[in-house]
Chain A
Amino acid sequence: MKIPIGPQHPALKEPVGFMVNVEGERIKSLDLDVSYNHRGIEKGVEQRDFNQSLYLIERICGICSHAHATNFSKGIEELMNLEIPKRAAYIRLIVAELERIHSHYLWVGVAGHEIGFDTLFMYTWRDRELVQDLLEIISGNRVNYAINCLGGVRRDLNEKTIKLALDHLKKLGERAVYYTKLATTEETMVDRLSGVGKLPYEKAKSLGSVGPTARGSGVDSDVRRDDPYLAYAEVPFKVITANNCDVLGRTIVRAGELAQSIEMTKWALENLPPGEIKKAPPRSAPPGEVISRCEAPRGELVHYIKSNNTDKAERFGVRTPTMANWPSVVEGLTGQNIADIPIVVAAIDPCLSCTSRTTFVDTDSRKSWVWNWDELRNYSIRWYRENKGIYWGD
């Protein structure tokens, strides 16, 4: 029997299509259909100058908006050889970690809702309001903070804000401990979370999973530690991994990251260096290409920017962490029950606004098709050999 899950479904907050092949309650196979939220942002960035496109890029996603904006400004600043002041780096880090806190609280609530535990949903979203209030005071908005600009940040933190933030963070820390305890000791919740969405270590690496999805399977990789940006080289923190290789592992990783982020934000607030908050950038960027990556709440986010001595980007490409994690959903759901679909999909923390893929369309014959991994790889090897004389093949 074939069941359509999506694009409209109460389990999904955003549209994605699954066609699930079931037998009784067991899933035999499933087909994935993404890209319902394509908005042409990559094209839009080519027509706006750097400062304007910053606001467009921020709106790729509502929950990880600051990660996109930080990544883009970091890439452009690298092309322009511009070094931002230390205070600006710290403020960007504080907002990034606050965003991670709010995203993980949101995730715990959504996971609770997907398994039917609405009480957890209500409690976590009530406590998340503390983070939202903080972000509102710091940046003026609860989502899409618009606090980055090329060369630094636009708003500063004063003493009152810092004191209020430390106060709220203490409360948030206590609540995080309670939710960790609840997620790991409440029997009905552990029954629903453990043993589902199994993703062994080798599969996690070969499918290219990133973020808490990979760290919940024991893969020890975090862009903040492996490739430090902003002020992450100075702030002390631990990378949390778990060996459960299932949804419970990802929950433990996110709960641990929540506690770590609260500690990091406290440290950054207490050790905020004085100084300016922005440096005037040059009008245009010298020609070049840059790959900029950062650790969004969902995993590794990659931006590719190509500049050509104008004040607009010539080409802009985004690879979001959700896009990298979808194959692990297909892997984790084969052989499981229908009842596990919502929680396994929610375990990668899907942000469908960040998911887009390429399709080939032939308007004359009205056909559309996609390439698989081998076709794409062969095409890239051929292109580089013909156009650049470099041979990547093995």
Chain B
Amino acid sequence: MDAWLVFLYVLVFPGIFFLLGYSFFAEWFDRKMYAKMQNRVGPPLVQPFADFIKLLSKEDIMPEGVEAKPYNVLPLFAFAAVATSFIYIPTFMSSSPVGFQGDLLLVLYMLTLPTIILFLVGWYSRNTFATIGAYRAVSQLFVYEVPLFIAALGPALWVKSWSVSDIVSWQQGNPWLFLIQPLGFIIAIICLQAKLERIPFDIPEAETEIVGGPLVEYSGRKLALFRIATDMLMVTGASLIAALFLGGPSVGFSLDSLPFWAAGVIGFVAFLLKTLLIVFLLSFIRAAFARLRIDQMTSFGWKWLASLALFQLFLVIGMRMVVQ
């Protein structure tokens, strides 16, 4: 593709600007569905954007004795990591123009970075609550990363490629992978909920126990960056699962006969619907359960998530050999 088209892809659509706008919309959708399930009204459409603007205008306080450079720079790292990983996921075409073999691993790795940064943030904040939240975040990371990676490995093994774009293109004419690997789909959704640190896995940020968790000392612009990074993480995670298991922008039949822009629009609408469905599932899980304790989460993760993910992996390998 031309250089300036790639530039446009990365910066405007579906790059940073689209990602920002869509994260606000996804956060509103999540909060609205959560409220409706609790028989309430929920916020208006511009609420996440208004929260963001309000946080940007607040005073930026740095506690005493905190090292300034890491404290100021870490939110930017989190923002950058999530924004970068989104461009590898196809949103309206069947492949991303910057995709390459192995970009699935790159995306998964970049999505791990925000949690590690959360740990560093909690560590550098020099606050008791932040320290507790930091080590809880890392303990939780050890538990859900393995099942998530194994669940994402399933589609890669089936399609025999390490590129997200290839997995999406394969699902263009073939059945979507969540029909072939339903267990992997469910495990990926649960692990995404744990990665986003939402109920029942919001142990690092347990509001009634350790107030704000690792982010307790942050305020103003840095907190706004973290919150938008969390929303973008939700959109990116949902898009990744949609791409791996629900076929991304594909609609089940071939769109080659239509002109490029029409196929693009139909693919984009399909992508939006699928990611919103996954966001709805995440809201549903958030409304339905209580928060777990860290030791209960560890035992749940290793007893159920990891073993079921391994079982799914063996199933995939076995089925692939049979189908061969």
Direct contact between the two chains A and B in their complex (CB within 8 A): yes
Instruction: Report which A residues bind B (CB closer than 8 A).
Output: 1-4, 9-11, 25, 112-120, 122-123, 126, 186, 188-189, 191-192, 337-342
Q: B294 to A192, Cβ gap below 8 A?
A: no
Partner of B40, one of A4, A122, A192, A342: A122
Q: In this assembly, does B101 line the interface, its C-beta being within 8 Å of a C-beta of chain A? A: no
Q: Which residues of A contact B291 (CB under 8 A)?
A: 115-117, 188, 192
What per-residue 1/0 map shows which CB atoms of B129-170 lie under 8 Å from chain A?
Answer: 101100000000000000000000000000000000000000
Q: A126 to B290, Cβ gap below 8 A?
A: no
Q: Which residues of B contact A113 (CB under 8 A)?
A: 208
Q: Which residues of A contact B207 (CB under 8 A)?
A: 10, 116
Q: B210 to A338, Cβ gap below 8 A?
A: yes
The answer for the CA separation of A115 and B293 in the assembled complex, in Å, is 9
Q: Which residues of B contact A116 (CB under 8 A)?
A: 199-200, 202, 206-208, 290-291
Given contacts A3-B129, A10-B207, A338-B209, contact A123 B38 (CB under 8 A): yes
Min CB gap B128→A, angstroms: 5
Q: In this assembly, does B292 line the interface, its C-beta being within 8 Å of a C-beta of chain A? A: yes
Q: A342 to B209, Cβ gap below 8 A?
A: yes
What per-residue 1/0 map shows which CB atoms of B23-60 lie under 8 Å from chain A?
Answer: 00000000000000111100000000000000000000
Q: Which residues of A contact B296 (CB under 8 A)?
A: 191
The answer for the CA separation of A25 and B203 in the assembled complex, in Å, is 12
> Which residues of chain B in 180-225 are interfacial with respect to chain A, using CB atoms and an 8 Å cutoff?
199-200, 202-203, 206-211
Min CB gap A342→B, angstroms: 4
> Which residues of chain B in 273-293 are interfacial with respect to chain A, using CB atoms and an 8 Å cutoff?
287-293
Min CB gap A341→B, angstroms: 6
Q: In this assembly, does B295 line the interface, its C-beta being within 8 Å of a C-beta of chain A? A: yes
Q: A114 to B292, Cβ gap below 8 A?
A: no
Q: A9 to B211, Cβ gap below 8 A?
A: yes
Given contacts A10-B207, A116-B208, A118-B38, contact A337 B287 (CB under 8 A): no
Task: Name which residue of chain A comes closest to B211, CB basis.
Answer: A10
Task: Name which residue of chain A comes closest to B203, CB basis.
Answer: A339
The answer for the CA separation of A338 and B209 in the assembled complex, in Å, is 7
Q: A114 to B208, Cβ gap below 8 A?
A: yes
Q: A11 to B39, Cβ gap below 8 A?
A: no
Q: B287 to A119, Cβ gap below 8 A?
A: yes
Min CB gap A144→B, angstroms: 27
The answer for the CA separation of A189 and B234 in the assembled complex, in Å, is 26
Instruction: Report which B residues bind A (CB closer than 8 A).
Output: 37-40, 128-129, 131-132, 199-200, 202-203, 206-211, 287-296
Q: B294 to A342, Cβ gap below 8 A?
A: no
Q: Which residues of B contact A192 (CB under 8 A)?
A: 290-293
Partner of B38, one of A1, A25, A122, A337: A122
Q: A188 to B132, Cβ gap below 8 A?
A: no
- Pull 13 A–B residue pairs with CB atoms less than 8 Å apart, ordered by A: A10-B208, A114-B208, A116-B207, A119-B37, A122-B40, A188-B290, A189-B290, A191-B293, A192-B292, A337-B294, A339-B293, A340-B293, A342-B209
Q: A25 to B209, Cβ gap below 8 A?
A: no
Min CB gap A143→B, angstroms: 22
The answer for the CA separation of A118 and B37 in the assembled complex, in Å, is 11
Task: Name which residue of chain A comes closest to B288, CB basis.
Answer: A119
Task: Name which residue of chain B comes closest to A342, CB basis.
Answer: B208
- In the A-B complex, the 3 residue pairs with the smallest Cβ-Cβ separation, listed nearest first, are A116-B291, A117-B290, A122-B38
Q: Which residues of B contact A118 (CB under 8 A)?
A: 38, 199, 287
Q: A339 to B294, Cβ gap below 8 A?
A: yes
Min CB gap B305→A, angstroms: 15
Task: Name which residue of chain A comes closest to B290, CB basis.
Answer: A117
Task: Name which residue of chain B comes closest to A1, CB basis.
Answer: B128
Q: A126 to B39, Cβ gap below 8 A?
A: yes
Min CB gap A121→B, angstroms: 8
Q: A11 to B287, Cβ gap below 8 A?
A: no
The answer for the CA separation of A120 and B295 in the assembled complex, in Å, is 23
Task: Name which residue of chain B comes closest to A5, CB basis.
Answer: B209
Min CB gap A130→B, angstroms: 14
Q: B211 to A191, Cβ gap below 8 A?
A: no
The answer for the CA separation of A14 and B271 in the assembled complex, in Å, is 47
The answer for the CA separation of A135 and B190 in the assembled complex, in Å, is 44
Interface contacts beyond A1-B128, A117-B290, A119-B37: sample of 9 additional A-B pairs, CB < 8 Å, sorted by A? A1-B131, A4-B128, A10-B207, A118-B199, A119-B38, A119-B288, A188-B292, A189-B290, A342-B208
Q: Which residues of B contact A341 (CB under 8 A)?
A: 209
Min CB gap B43→A, angstroms: 15
Q: Which residues of B contact A120 (CB under 8 A)?
A: 290
The answer for the CA separation of A191 and B296 in the assembled complex, in Å, is 8
Min CB gap B261→A, angstroms: 43
Task: Name which residue of chain B comes closest to A25, CB basis.
Answer: B294
Given contacts A116-B200, A192-B290, A192-B291, contact A11 B38 (CB under 8 A): no
The answer for the CA separation of A191 and B200 in the assembled complex, in Å, is 12
Min CB gap B42→A, angstroms: 12
Min CB gap A192→B, angstroms: 6
Q: Which residues of A contact B295 (CB under 8 A)?
A: 25, 337
Q: A188 to B289, Cβ gap below 8 A?
A: yes
Q: Which residues of B contact A337 (CB under 8 A)?
A: 293-295
Q: Which residues of A contact B292 (CB under 8 A)?
A: 188, 191-192
The answer for the CA separation of A130 and B293 in the assembled complex, in Å, is 34
Q: Which residues of A contact B210 (CB under 8 A)?
A: 338
Partner of A122, one of B39, B132, B211: B39
The answer for the CA separation of A145 and B39 in the assembled complex, in Å, is 29
Task: Name which residue of chain B comes closest to A3, CB basis.
Answer: B128
Q: B289 to A117, Cβ gap below 8 A?
A: yes
The answer for the CA separation of A192 and B297 in the assembled complex, in Å, is 11
Q: Which residues of A contact B290 (CB under 8 A)?
A: 112, 115-117, 120, 186, 188-189, 191-192
Q: A11 to B208, Cβ gap below 8 A?
A: yes
